Amino acid sequence: MENLIAEAADIIINSNLTLALTGAGISVESGIPDFRSAEGLWSKYDPAEYATIEAFRANPEKVWNMLREMDAVVSGAKPNKAHLGLGELEKMGYLHFIITQNIDNLHQEGGAKNVIEYHGNSRTLSCIWCGKRYGVEEKRDQFPPRCECGKILKPDVVFFGEPIPADALNRSFQLASSAEALLVIGTSAVVSPANTIPTVAKQNNATIIEINMEKTHLTDSITDIFLQGSAGEIVDALVREVKRKGSFRP
Ligand code: APR
């Protein structure tokens, strides 16, 4: 593994445009379950019944039973070594953008500034009927949270059946088309269109460095360097190696 870490560090040091695509796996060590591992959220809640915009419109109270459980975990979560390490790489000038599928705000709390949120962020709630927006904290004592118009509010996260925010979609494909290195961290890469970002980067000759507990369908197809293990441990080791070999980039 040390050789692979050293190889990945060299790629990062020599890359002029490095991106990270992250998924729920990067936040598991912060106590937030992922979706598709054995104990993942979808093993408890059927996404067809709880995570589509149709399900929310039809029965928002029911969907809020799952959302409340997620909110309780996300609101208490702290960035782990993987979030902090990516924040350090950005500060050192070796990581340029993070494209995250996560809605937990932990990249920002881990020090990263250039974060593209593909699936929104759970820190605000909106009324899909009248459009009014609230901070999640101001409604935390209400269940389910309601708009002043009386309707039940929805978190500003992308449900299945909703579009990806246009600026996130366009910016991430633009970046993926010119990236020289792409870190793919803690994602099963099964949800479109986020899962096409590694392919776009690869088609433009980026080096794909995958960090995951287990292989994914990318590993034996487009991944160049597979660093198997926990995101916290591996990102931490990678940042230490970059620090040892690299220097602060202007
Ligand atoms: N370190 C590294 N990888 C991990 C860790 C860890 N500690 N824990 C889990 N993983 C890996 C799992 O092996 C899996 O490959 O992270 C991946 C998580 O995959 P998913 O649960 O499918 O999460 P994600 O890829 O982010 O899902 C994408 O699906 O349900 C939607 O909107 C939701 O954004 C989410 C999207």
Q: Coil, strand or helix: which one is 219?
A: coil
Q: Which residues, 6 or more positions from 137, have their beta carbon under 8 angstroms from its beta carbon? A: none
The model's pLDDT over 3-16, given as tens digits with 9 standing for 90+, comes to 999 999 999 999 99
Report the nearest-CA residue for atom 10 of ligand 1: 25
The model's pLDDT over 54-66, given as tens digits with 9 standing for 90+, comes to 999 999 999 999 9
- What domains can be seen in the chain, in order of their start residue? 1-32+79-119+164-250 (3.40.50.1220), 33-76+122-157 (3.30.1600.10)
What is the model's pLDDT at position 249? 66
Catalytic residue numbers read: 119
The model's pTM is: 0.97
Question: For a pocket test of ligand 1, which of 26, 116, 187, 236 has the largest count of ligand atoms closer than 8 A to its C-beta?
Answer: 187
Return the minimum-mean-pLDDT range out of 42-46, 150-154, 197-201, 242-246.
242-246
Q: Distance from the CA of 36 to the center of ligand 1, in angstroms?
A: 6
From the CB of 119, is ligand 1 less than 6 Å away?
yes
Q: What is the mean pLDDT of residues 157-174?
A: 97
From the CB of 233, is ligand 1 less than 6 Å away?
no
Q: What is the mean pLDDT of residues 67-96?
A: 96
Angle at 58 between CA 53 and CA 64, to 5 degrees: 70
Q: Does the pLDDT of residue 250 top 70, yes or no? A: no
Q: Distance from the CA of 132 to the center of ligand 1, in angstroms?
A: 31
Q: Please identify, by atom number, the ligand 1 atom nearest to the C-alpha of residue 23.
A: 26
What is the model's pLDDT at position 172? 97
From the CB of 23, is ligand 1 less than 6 Å away?
yes
From the CB of 104, is ligand 1 less than 6 Å away?
no
In 3D space, the residue among 233, 193, 195, 242 whose CA is nearest the CA of residue 213 turns out to be 233
Percent of the chain at pLDDT > 90 equals: 96
From the CB of 13, is ligand 1 less than 6 Å away?
no
Q: Which residues, 6 or more positions from 37, have their beta carbon under 8 angstroms from its beta carbon? A: 25, 28, 213
Residue with the two structure tokens 């708009």:
147
Q: Where residue 84 falls among pLDDT bands split at 50, 70, 90? A: very high
Mean pLDDT across the chain, nearest whole number? 96
The model's pLDDT over 104-118, given as tens digits with 9 standing for 90+, comes to 999 999 999 999 999
